[in-house]
């Protein structure tokens, strides 16, 4: 096999591989929106897919602030922010959001973008929960019962979410007052024998009162023995399951519970139980987060952006192709093939990287086309100059590529450096822009300098090159 044949075999393999990567995206976006939503819930998205960002697909954008006043002083802020980001990412990944954006912004802010999630209330409930799960013993001693009777005489012992000052004076030492379901009140021991940090798993099951969903949990092996000892030492007493300062249930311990398993009942809906299981599996945030900015992008706006962007790109590329074909004739047709191949290979690369296409990403695509046009114009003009000197086509093509190589490399190298810096220091859409710019830059260098030269060589072998020139 000759060197030329090897090159063409490699290009053919690249075309076939690119089509293989792009076909799932083409097939996916031909489906109805409802069908895509159903497949996403079933986790049946294609492995390689060009995803659409928030500005194209619609969804929820939130800026969250970590409440540093409630942060453990022993935990550095940078470490707490990283922990919060990882926990949010775990929760969102388990919820099934495709290609979310979760990034730190400034000292204590986190940007969260959830493409395809238009129910902002559900999104806030999922990502904003502190999810501090505690297991505490209910105090049913005589002093606790006496104190509870006096507290009940106050009418409303809570001032908003906090215990009122009048009720706090009646709470015995070593105990704390908590709210439960249906206005129930509990006096719990301040001691917290077990927390949700020691949970191994949490999942939704059916089997609570009236067949309602419940959250079944299981402790890690090292905590299972502690849970068994705790239940064995308190048979006949109530153990409260407290989540985010609310008592979800306070079942009577009927015997030693081995294996470290239990359930949380709370008259949940399926979605409530699912969200609670997610936050328990992902862990508790190091401190509460406040949503300081929130907006919802409608899918119709995204579809309009796609339609207008596609129309503008089609018109722009079409005019470029016509110009090349008319002005440069046969050489222009070769350049046209390179430009179309550039877009084809770039979208295949994005599918392979599972990249997210955003409006800035589309701008990056436009800039890539401009760079590809620039490289091809340099080559074609050098070839024209050599042909004007009377050189034969073969020598003119070789000289044209040699003389334009340094200019093409310099311009593309500077663009690569700029895009690398954007990717390193940018966030969100800026990174999307940098990804398409970097990938397209490398591909345009290949199509402009290697693919077009191979096409010239194949054309000259046909013997019509001199006449066409």
Strand 356-357 to 51-52 pairing: parallel
In the block, residue with structure tokens 């895009």: 419
Confidence band of 120 (pLDDT split at 50, 70, 90)? low
| Contacts within 8 Å (CB) and 24+ apart, 386-393 | 387/469, 392/466, 393/460, 393/465, 393/466, 393/469
Angle of helix 359-388 relative to helix 299-328, nearest 10 degrees, comes to: 0
Confidence band of 278 (pLDDT split at 50, 70, 90)? low
Q: 139-197, pLDDT tens digit by residue?
A: 988 998 998 888 888 877 887 667 888 888 898 988 999 888 777 889 999 888 888 77
Q: 356-378, pLDDT tens digit by residue?
A: 777 777 777 888 888 888 888 88
Mean pLDDT over 78-106 rounds to 73
Tokens of 41: 């819930």
Topology match between the domains 59-130+291-297 and 133-284: no
CA pair distance 116, 224, nearest whole angstrom: 39
Which pLDDT score, from 0 to 100, does residue 468 have? Answer: 46
Mean pLDDT over 274-303 rounds to 70
Strand 101-105 to 109-115 pairing: antiparallel
Using a pLDDT cut of 70, give the percent of the chain over it: 83
Mean pLDDT over 253-274 rounds to 77
Residues 6+ apart with CB under 8 A from 376: 324, 335, 338, 339, 448, 452
Tokens of 290: 């406040």
Mean pLDDT score across all residues of the chain: 80
Q: 423-439, pLDDT tens digit by residue?
A: 777 666 677 677 778 88
Note whether 150 and 170 are within 8 A (CB). yes
Which pLDDT score, from 0 to 100, does residue 128 have? Answer: 63
Which pLDDT score, from 0 to 100, does residue 99 have? Answer: 62
Mean pLDDT over 228-236 rounds to 88
Domain 59-130+291-297 has CATH 3.30.70.3400: yes
Which pLDDT score, from 0 to 100, does residue 195 have? Answer: 80
Is residue 315 over pLDDT 70? yes
Is residue 103 over pLDDT 70? yes
Which pLDDT score, from 0 to 100, does residue 16 have? Answer: 92
CA pair distance 135, 198, nearest whole angstrom: 11
Q: What's the CATH architecture for 133-284?
A: 2-Layer Sandwich (3.30)
- Residue of 385, 395, 330, 369 lying closest to 448 (CA atoms): 369
Which pLDDT score, from 0 to 100, does residue 434 have? Answer: 79
Confidence band of 467 (pLDDT split at 50, 70, 90)? very low
Which pLDDT score, from 0 to 100, does residue 138 have? Answer: 92
Is residue 94 over pLDDT 60? no
Confidence band of 305 (pLDDT split at 50, 70, 90)? low
**Model pTM?**
0.58
Which pLDDT score, from 0 to 100, does residue 299 have? Answer: 60
Note whether 261 and 207 are within 8 A (CB). no
Q: Is 198 exposed, middle or buried (0-12, 13-18, 19+ CB in 10 A)?
A: middle
Domain residue spans in the chain? 3-32+298-468, 59-130+291-297, 133-284
Q: What is the largest CA-CA distance in the chain?
A: 111
Which pLDDT score, from 0 to 100, does residue 98 have? Answer: 57
Instruction: State which fold the 3-32+298-468 domain adopts.
Output: Multidrug efflux transporter AcrB transmembrane fold (1.20.1640)
CA pair distance 345, 174, nearest whole angstrom: 68
């Amino acid at each position: 096999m000759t060197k030329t044949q090897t090159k063409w075999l490699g290009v053919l393999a690249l075309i076939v591989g690119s089509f293989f990567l792009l076909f799932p995206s083409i097939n996916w976006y031909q489906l109805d929106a409802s069908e895509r939503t159903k497949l996403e819930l079933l986790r049946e998205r294609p492995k390689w897919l060009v995803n659409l960002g928030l500005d194209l697909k619609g969804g929820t954008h939130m800026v969250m602030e970590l409440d540093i006043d409630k942060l453990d002083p022993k935990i550095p802020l940078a470490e707490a922010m990283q922990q919060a980001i990882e926990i949010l990412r775990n929760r969102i990944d388990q919820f099934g959001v495709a290609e979310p954006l979760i990034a730190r912004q400034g000292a204590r802010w986190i940007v969260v973008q959830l493409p395809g999630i238009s129910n902002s209330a559900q999104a806030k409930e999922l990502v904003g929960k502190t999810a501090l799960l505690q297991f505490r013993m209910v105090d049913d001693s005589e002093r606790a019962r006496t104190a509870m009777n006096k507290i009940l005489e106050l009418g409303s012992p809570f001032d908003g979410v906090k215990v009122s000052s009048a009720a706090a004076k009646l709470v015995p030492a070593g105990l704390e007052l908590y709210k439960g379901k249906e206005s129930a009140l509990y006096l719990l021991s301040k001691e917290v024998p077990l927390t949700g940090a020691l949970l191994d798993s949490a999942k939704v099951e059916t089997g609570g009162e009236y067949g309602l969903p419940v959250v079944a949990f299981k402790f890690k092996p090292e905590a299972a023995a502690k849970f068994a000892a705790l239940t064995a030492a308190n048979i006949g007493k109530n153990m409260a399951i407290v989540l985010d300062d609310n008592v979800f249930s306070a079942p009577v311990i009927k015997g030693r519970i081995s294996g470290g398993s239990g359930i949380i009942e709370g008259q949940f809906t399926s979605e409530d139980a699912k969200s609670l299981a997610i936050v328990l599996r992902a862990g508790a945030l190091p401190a509460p987060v406040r949503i300081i900015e929130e907006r919802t992008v409608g899918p119709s706006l995204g579809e309009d952006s796609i339609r207008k962007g596609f129309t503008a790109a089609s018109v722009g590329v079409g005019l470029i192709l016509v110009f090349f074909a008319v002005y440069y004739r046969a050489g222009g047709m070769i350049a046209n093939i390179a430009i179309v191949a550039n877009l084809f290979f770039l979208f295949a690369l994005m599918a392979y990287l599972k990249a997210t296409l955003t409006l800035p990403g589309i701008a990056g695509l436009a800039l890539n086309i401009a760079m590809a046009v620039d490289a091809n114009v340099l080559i074609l003009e050098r070839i024209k100059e050599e042909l004007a000197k009377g050189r034969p086509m073969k020598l003119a093509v070789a000289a044209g590529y040699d003389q334009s190589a340094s200019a093409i490399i310099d311009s593309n190298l500077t663009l690569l450096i700029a895009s690398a810096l954007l990717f390193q220091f940018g966030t969100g859409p800026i990174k999307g822009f940098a990804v398409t710019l970097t990938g397209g830059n490398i591909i345009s260098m290949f199509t402009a300098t290697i693919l077009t030269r191979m096409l010239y060589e194949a054309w000259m072998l046909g013997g019509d090159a001199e006449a066409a020139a």
